[in-house]
Structure 1
Amino acid sequence: MDDDSRLARWQKHAEVPLVLASLIFLSSYAVRVLGHGHLSQPVLDLCLALTFTAWAMFGVDYAVCWRLSGQRLGFVRRHPLDTVVLVLPLLRPLRIVKMYETVQRRHGRPRLSLHARVIVYAGMASLLLGFTGALAVYQQERGAPGATMRTFGDAVWFTCSTLATVGYGDITPVTERGRVVAVGIMGVGLGLLGAVTGTFASWLLQVFSVEDDEGPPGS
């Protein structure tokens, strides 16, 4: 059995467990951040253990895929997103977006058009990244001297305005780590906005092109 087929089999079997690990990671991280100061220490320690367990599963998956690919450094160059996600596990919930297409395919449902898929996936990614981004920036900003982000609601507002590239400036991070997270949110917002607007523009051009090819009635 060649490496490609072994890798494909591993990815197929690991798909659902990794999606569940992504959900566990996101849930346990959210409970730790939002439950800080409200939940008992044993509960917070359990959430921390679940977070690191899910992260370990991501690391095992990356290592196995790297080994089965037989590409060594070539695997890192060809899969930069997987490498970044391993270092920044807050992006792992994006696997949930990928799982959506898998479920659709397994149930024999017709796939959406390319333009519709880009818009749907960008919307789902925006929700997931917006939530994780709000958690991350709130974790760094809460209780900081001079912080304007005093509640999780403030963090959600800041994340939404940043993802939308609006940036009202009424709430801004004051810590270094909070600003690093904010820069990441800015980059994601620009990327998602560009993907959606570019796809919509492409769809409009395709529609107008078809109408021009058909010509006016009776021509």
Structure 2
Amino acid sequence: MTVGARIERLVTSGTFSLDGGTWDVDNNVWIIGDDREVIVVDAAHDADAIAEAVGGRALRAIVCTHAHNDHIDAAPELAERLGAPVLLHPDDLPLWKQTHPDRAPDAELADGQILAVAGVELTVLHTPGHAPGAVCLYAPKLTALFSGDTLFAGGPGATGRSYSHFPTIIESIRERLLTLPGGTVVHTGHGDPTTIGAEAPHLREWIARGH
């Protein structure tokens, strides 16, 4: 019997490398769909584990919230194994090529684009700052936002490395995310989920500090 669309979380472990440094990280891989079809958000580190979690369901797309290596390193292998396209905002192609110089994404993500799976629509929100092509996915039917590394419990994602910009991430959060309903659950790229309502007071402090 097919049940309704749901959100599944898989945590994978590996490394993040940029600007000559490498760090151990745990990443959230989000699987959205039902018993028939799913979308994977951020194919991180372990194609075997992600493929096992997808199981026999049809994988409609692998969506990259941004192109830091720890969010995309398993994407090409997963795409080849399960026959799914890899989707990335074009502004993050320079970062993508650092990890996968010989394999381009299959299609571009655009602000306002709608991705559909299992009767649920996910709207692409371009939220640059952590990376130029960073996006979030908003699924109102699931009361959910998939924020990648744009928003975490406690504040914005990091902006201390190449291709990132603090005022830009603050603007993205203020204009694109704080406008969402307060009860929206934020499913982050690392760590535990939070809500828009829980983060709004912290974010206003960040906004004041950044201007």
TM-score when scaled to structure 2? Answer: 0.27
The one of the two structures with greater contact order (alpha-carbon pairs below 8 A, sep at least 6) is: 1
